[in-house]
Amino acid sequence: MLNSTSSLPIQNSTTSGAWNSGGTAGAWGGGGGGAAPSNGYDRPASGAVPAIATAGTTDSRKKEADLNRREAELNKREAELRRLELEIRNNPAMKSIKNWPKYCAVVHHDIAGEIPAENQGMVKTAYYAFLGFIFCAFYNIAFGTSAGLIEGKVGIGNWLWSALFLVAGVPGAFILWYMRLYNAAIKDGAFKYAVFFIFFLGYLIFVGWAAVGPPILAKWSLTGWWAAINMIDKSDAVGILYFIGAAFWSLEFVWSFWTLKNVYTAFRGGGMSMTQARNEAARRAAGAV
């Protein structure tokens, strides 16, 4: 009789290991020795920077460098323009060229060429105020007091006063306040601005007085509202001319007040003050002694 144990085949340990251990068992999710399954995507190594992020950083750096280069070029051009502008302003030959008024030049006047760009608007406003004063003073004598003199409503004394306002007032306004502002805008001097304010305030008072035309001093010498109201009782035609003159003086007063406001805004915006103007005046006085 054969032994029952000897007739049974002995199982190889290596065969059963195919279901429980490493090797091929890893294909069924068994041991940890098998390779991890691949899903078709490669994972970047630890610490590696994606190529897309690197390219984006490079492009931003290039754009920043290009912007810095353009800014440097603009600053260089601006500095060159400022240098040329200063050379033109400080050129005595250019300042000696008389070009104003256009058909009878007696002085050099060039807002675009001499005044810095940030101050040109302010100076132009004052220039129009000066031209407005010329027009008002001319109308005052040509169509106001002259018409009254012809009709016998205005005396020769009043006409002479109106002539004085034109002959002396126009060059006085040009020298005392307009050129003061013109030069102050070129050199940005607080003292020059302060002198302008003093004379321009006096001018503004005169224009306001002319617009009112009160019956004091030379009663009919200015075509103001008060004079126009009284003149209309004497002569309708001359009274209407006086009313028109009063309107012109009033517009000149409003524009001049606006000019004063613009100049004062530029004065304060430039970091200047009346204290600085007094200090400059003290230095000038000490240097003159």
pLDDT for residue 283: 79
pLDDT for residue 28: 39
CB-based contacts of 156, cutoff 8 Å, min separation 6: 149
Residue 147 has pLDDT above 90, yes or no: yes
Instruction: Give one word for 117, left, alpha or beta, with left for phi > 0 and alpha for psi -120 to 50.
Output: alpha
205 domain residue, yes or no: yes
- pLDDT tens, position by position, 24-60: 444 334 444 444 444 444 555 555 555 555 666 787 8
Contact 228, 245 (CB under 8 A): yes
Tell me which of 218 and 233 has the higher pLDDT. Answer: 233
Domain that holds residue 228: 118-288
Q: Which residues pair with 107 in a beta bridge?
A: 100
Total structural domains in the chain? 1
Nearest-angstrom CA–CA distance, 286 and 289: 5
5 domain residue, yes or no: no
Q: Hunting for tokens 């003050």 — which residue is that?
A: 273
Q: How far is CA 189 from the centre of its chain?
A: 18
92 domain residue, yes or no: no
The stretch 132-157 carries a mean pLDDT of: 96
143 domain residue, yes or no: yes
148 domain residue, yes or no: yes
Nearest-angstrom CA–CA distance, 141 and 161: 9
pLDDT for residue 23: 42
pLDDT for residue 275: 82
